[in-house]
Amino acid sequence: MGNARCAAAAPELFELNDDGYVSTPMIDVPKSHEYAAQVAAGSCPERIIFIEKDES
């Protein structure tokens, strides 16, 4: 749908393409941006953003 709420919540993590859709398929989130990533994932109305923690 292209709501781009994740980009509004965390523009430092998510980029929009020319059509206004998020063009970030997978990212490694720096520790300093983990909260922003959680807020962005929670703001996605389609719940398509998932956070996986690296336990290594």
Contact 49, 10 (CB under 8 A): no
Total domains, the chain: 1
Q: Which of 51, 2, 49 is nearest to 29 (CA)?
A: 51
CATH number of the domain enclosing 51:
3.30.70.20
Q: Which residue has the higher pLDDT, 24 or 39?
A: 39
- Averaged pLDDT for residues 24-52: 91
Q: Where are the alpha helices (DSSP H) in the chain?
A: 5-9, 34-43
Q: Which domain holds residue 43?
A: 1-56
Q: Which residue has the higher pLDDT, 55 or 11?
A: 11
* Average pLDDT along the chain: 89
Task: Print burial letters for 4-22: b (CB count within 10 Å at least 16), e (below 16).
Answer: bbbbebbeebbebeeeeeb
Residue 31 pLDDT > 80: yes
Q: What is the pLDDT of residue 24?
A: 77
Q: What is the pLDDT of residue 2?
A: 67
